[in-house]
């Protein structure tokens, strides 16, 4: 319950955030203009907070909300093609109660897993600037401090680079690649051994080109399960 209320408090703070003027303008503009296919929907148009199981041992870190995906629905990877690849995989691995994610009220429940992102506001061209990611980093740090996950799965290099920064491990020369696994140092964030597991991001750019296959992605979640059950 304590974790839940800490996460709820953080969510409220995130939703009210306006630290990045360029992103505030963009997320609200997209929500106003809308895509034709969603013209009758009320877009969220605000920062998208993390969500999932407050007792999660696995923390998933993505990039940032998609303009017409989570900037529309208000929940990570919900209502877009990346989520259409992610949630079936989480369902197969037992981390989600259903393989679909369409809206905040679709009944999706995550088990032992929490999903968040490096940046919380939809950026133009899906590219937050380094300064914008720096502005958003304290939220990610607090999520890590509250959840103290045993495994962090970073989806893509931008999320990986954030982890390298947060855990101050640049000097270790870690390189991002799909399936790469690192032992995170014990720190004020997580006071016991934990792991960083890398995956390609499930964007269409990767899934439609075969750079990230269903099998490759399933292997990531199997590995995450193995790591949380390893003692």
Residue 59 phi, psi (nearest 5) = -110, 125
Of the pair 47, 84, the CB lying nearest ligand SF4 is at: 47
Among 20, 31, 96, 115, binds ligand SF4 (CB under 6 A): 20
Of the pair 17, 227, the CB lying nearest ligand SF4 is at: 17
Using CB under 6 A as the binding rule, the residues of this chain from 159 to 188 that contact ligand SF4 are none
19 binds ligand SF4 (CB under 6 A): yes
| 8 A C-beta contact, residue 201 and residue 82 | yes
Among 121, 166, 190, 212, binds ligand SF4 (CB under 6 A): 121
Closest CA relative to residue 116, chosen from 96, 144, 90, 88: 144
120 binds ligand SF4 (CB under 6 A): yes
- CA dist 44 and 79 (Å) reads 12
Among 6, 10, 11, 17, binds ligand SF4 (CB under 6 A): 17
Q: Quick one: how far is CA 199 from the chain centroid?
A: 12
Using the Cα atoms of residue 201, residue 207, residue 208 and residue 209 in order, give the sign of their dihedral: positive
Of the pair 22, 111, the CB lying nearest ligand SF4 is at: 22
23 binds ligand SF4 (CB under 6 A): yes
Residue 14 Cβ vs ligand SF4, minimum distance, rounded to whole Å = 6
Residue 46 Cβ vs ligand SF4, minimum distance, rounded to whole Å = 9
Residue 146 Cβ vs ligand SF4, minimum distance, rounded to whole Å = 17
Q: Which stretch binds ligand SF4 (CB under 6 A): 1-9, 13-21, 89-97, 220-228?
A: 13-21
46 binds ligand SF4 (CB under 6 A): no
| 8 A C-beta contact, residue 90 and residue 110 | yes
* C-beta pairs of 64-67 under 8 Å, 24+ apart in sequence: 64/117, 64/118, 64/119, 64/120, 64/121, 64/122, 64/123, 64/126, 64/128, 65/27, 65/117, 65/119, 65/120, 65/121, 65/122, 66/122, 66/126, 67/26, 67/27, 67/30, 67/122
Helices of type H across 94-183: 130-147, 157-166
50 binds ligand SF4 (CB under 6 A): no
58 binds ligand SF4 (CB under 6 A): no
Among 73, 117, 135, 194, binds ligand SF4 (CB under 6 A): 135
Contact residues: ligand SF4, CB under 6 A: 14, 17-20, 23-24, 47, 119-121, 132, 135-136
């Amino acid at each position: 319950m304590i974790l839940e209320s800490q996460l709820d408090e953080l969510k409220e703070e995130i939703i009210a955030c306006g630290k990045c003027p360029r992103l505030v303008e963009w997320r609200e503009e997209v929500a106003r203009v809308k895509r034709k296919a969603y013209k009758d929907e009320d877009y969220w148009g605000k920062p998208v907070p993390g969500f999932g199981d407050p007792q999660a041992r696995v923390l998933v870190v993505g990039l940032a909300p998609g303009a017409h995906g989570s900037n529309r629905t208000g929940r990570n990877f919900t209502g877009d093609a990346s989520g259409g690849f992610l949630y079936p995989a989480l369902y197969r691995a037992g981390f989600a109660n259903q393989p679909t994610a369409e809206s905040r009220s679709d009944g999706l429940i995550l088990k032992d897993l929490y999903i968040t992102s490096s940046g919380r506001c939809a950026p133009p061209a899906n590219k937050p600037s380094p300064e914008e990611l720096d502005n958003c980093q304290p939220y990610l740090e607090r999520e890590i401090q509250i959840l103290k996950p045993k495994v962090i799965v970073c989806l893509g290099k931008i999320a990986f680079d954030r982890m390298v920064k947060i855990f101050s491990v640049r000097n270790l020369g870690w390189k991002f690649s799909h399936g790469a696994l690192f032992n995170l140092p014990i720190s004020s964030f997580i006071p016991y051994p934990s792991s960083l597991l890398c995956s390609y991001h499930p964007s269409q750019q990767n899934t439609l080109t075969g750079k990230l296959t269903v099998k490759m992605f399933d292997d990531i979640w199997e590995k995450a399960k193995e790591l949380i059950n390893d003692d």
